[in-house]
Amino acid sequence: MTNILDKISKTSIYLLVFLLPLFFLPWTTNVLDFNKQFLLIFLVFISLGCWLLKSLVQGKISLNLSVFNLPVLIYLLILGLATLFSAYKYASFWGWPLSVSSAFLTILGFVLFYFLIMNVFRKEETFGLLIILVLSGFLTALFGALQIFNIFPLSSNTIGTANSLCVFIACLLPLVLCLIFTGKRLIKFLMSIIGLVMLGLLFLVNFWVAWILFLIGSTGLLIFGIAKKDVFNVKWINLLIALLILGLFFGIFRIEIPFAPDIPLEIAPSQAASFSIAGQTLKDNMPGSLMFGSGPGTFVYDYSQFKSETINQTAFWGVRFDSGASDILDKLATTGILGLLSFLGILGVFIWLALKALTRKKQALLSLGIFSAWLTVVAGIMLYPSNISLGFLFWIFTATFIALNPSPLLKEKWWGVKTWEIKPSSLASIGISFLFIFILICGLGLFVFTGQKYAAEIRYQQGLEAFQKGDNQTAVNSLFKAISYVNGRQDNYWRDLAQVELFRIREELQKPEVSSEAITPLVSQAINSAKNATDVAPKNVANWTVRGFVYRQLIDLVEGVEDWAVQSYQKAAELEPTNPYIWTELGRIYLVQEKKDKAKEQFQKALDLKSDYAPAHFQIALIYIEEGKEDEAIEKMETATQAAPFDIGLSFQLGVLYYQADMFEEAETEFERAIGLQENYSNARYFLGLIYDEQEDKASAIFQFEKIRELNPDNEEVKSILANLRAGRPALEEIVSEQPPIEEKPEEQLKK
């Protein structure tokens, strides 16, 4: 029985090490980290339960004691407190819909993983763990290369972006190099092939951070190789020097590689911007923010509230980044001073222990490779955002090094592995039995809740797919199921349900006979869903913008709802004061309330933040038109278009103004320019088709609406327009046209 339990415990960890870098499932919106977290928790708790049960059956328990255990436990405790003080406790614990890699549950899984490697595996067995990790990394690199060349139809590789894959491989390479230098013939041959493939991937992606990490890892090997001449011979030292030069050229001097494939650009806040956001977060008035930050995984909230206005001058003004320039700055913002100090404590104690171990006369060469790889991962934490796969490398290198190099705790007699006998009916036996039952109950409970959360994600994905297909009723049913599985504690489910309900309301209003009995419950559900989203996560600006959007869409159906919309957008503006979209939406509500001066004030705030923000310009132009100042309206839009000639929104909206002023030639020019900037711009083609119809050019009008039909095959209005044109009738005869929206849509608004 003890042998079986021991094998199950070890096999679970072996499977985890091999599968985690490769694992993904397509059934959820987050196909990578969410599924990797599920795998981590599942296999870790199986291994832990079997290890405890083996100790009970065997009648003794062995623990690998190390001074390093203390900073690890302190860090976990601080992270738990940061979760309690979090702006969104539920997501800080579970991760999704925030950052999964930073969640308390993920770190708990990593700490238990560290504990199991320390106590389940013998020293000689850690070598097998590392070989399995390298093999998994090799397959991950191959898979990533296939994905880069579009041979495998997946939106990303199994690590994340091409850059994050490159960082992952760069962190493995020092270990691979050490195994090449010191391994036996078969290991040397296999590691040489794996090393060449991994190095080839670095050339393929050519990400400067990955080259810097490779440089750091190679430097670590070289320094200790020179200091301990018995480790490497001269030819290996020469090879390391060559690799250092390679890292210098591509990492420091950023040499471009000709004929390399196009890699999607990865955008993130700068180090300076991330540090500024972290500093402002710590000064926030939220309780515990200085000591514990905003909560694990909540960097996206910090970014929204404290990002600089200068971001509005870039193409990424509307993007909310869920991580900063590096993982270490994310920790400062989301776990506070104590969180950062406790993590730095882990790094400091590890380096102290590692230096003591590596300066011994007799030292396993494997430790040198692990330490160099660990240094590379730590450098990655300082330079690059993390994910579960990169975090996994940190903990496996930490655990295997400490397992190979036990350290003293208090007195010499406590060094290394300590074994206690568990006698029947003894206090130790009762304590271990209680601990086993407690962990069993916690593990089973966690499995149940994790399973429910996973089922909720599957239902949520099904709901989004149904919505994209136009089946709004099925989408609502799936979203309700997802909400019930998580007891209504996930804000994005409520947020999207509110928007799907709006589409259902629109469907009811388009019916020949509109029934108030059918509309009223849909309106009530849309309002309640939007409110529930803000109740669940009141610090998420996306929830407030959607709530305001829902209220704005219901102005003609619910009396007094515009006041609720104003309050929602005002709250959103508090959480993201530099977003011009929010101020423009607020101004639109004031226009409905006939508060023209206040509306202008909001539109001007939007333009002060982003001078080329098209919707604000357009709304001011509409006010001019209403005041009979048509020339001023057109002049304002012309000025804005000249300032931003490649802004497709401005060009389109100027064309609409020309169209409304019956200046068809000028409108035609602007719509054609908009189509030149974006060929599949249906809104511009729509108006261009109407202009051709006004000019009695039916063939050109049909061509434009045929293009629109190809892009929007389910649009009934376009089909009716084409029928009119082919019959020689005006395009909009007997059609009540829904003018294409003149507005921006933020990322939280559902789009079909």
| Predicted confidence (pLDDT) per residue in 84-143, tens digit | 999 999 999 999 999 999 999 999 999 999 999 999 998 888 999 999 999 999 999 999
For the chain, list the domains and their CATH numbers.
2-260+362-421 (no CATH), 490-599 (1.25.40.10), 611-752 (1.25.40.10)
- If one counts every other C-beta atom within 10 angstroms of the C-beta of residue 225, the result is 21
d(CA 340, CA 281): 14
pLDDT for the residue 742: 46
The identity of residue 424, as a single letter, is P
Tokens of residue 263, six digits:
């890699």
Tokens of residue 578, six digits:
């530099």
Do residues 12 and 46 lie in contact, with contact meaning Cβ atoms separated by under 8 Å? yes
Q: What is the torsion angle, in degrees rounded to the nearest 10, for the CA atoms of residue 29, residue 31, residue 32 and residue 37? A: 80
Summarize the chain as % helix, strand, coil (round to 5): 70, 0, 30
Q: What is the torsion angle, in degrees rounded to the nearest 10, for the CA atoms of residue 7, residue 9, residue 12 and residue 13? A: -110
Tokens of residue 715, six digits:
């649009």
Residue 271, H or E segment: helix 271-282
Can you tell me which residue has the tokens 């309301």? Answer: 505
Tokens of residue 18, six digits:
């091999």
pLDDT for the residue 700: 92
d(CA 76, CA 407): 21
pLDDT for the residue 576: 97
Tokens of residue 437, six digits:
């039952």
Residues of the chain scoring pLDDT < 50:
409-410, 740-742
Give phi and psi for 417, each to the nearest 5: -85, 130
The pTM (predicted TM-score) of the whole model is 0.89
d(CA 327, CA 34): 18
d(CA 414, CA 67): 10
Strand partners for 1: none
Q: How far is CA 571 from its chain centroid? A: 24
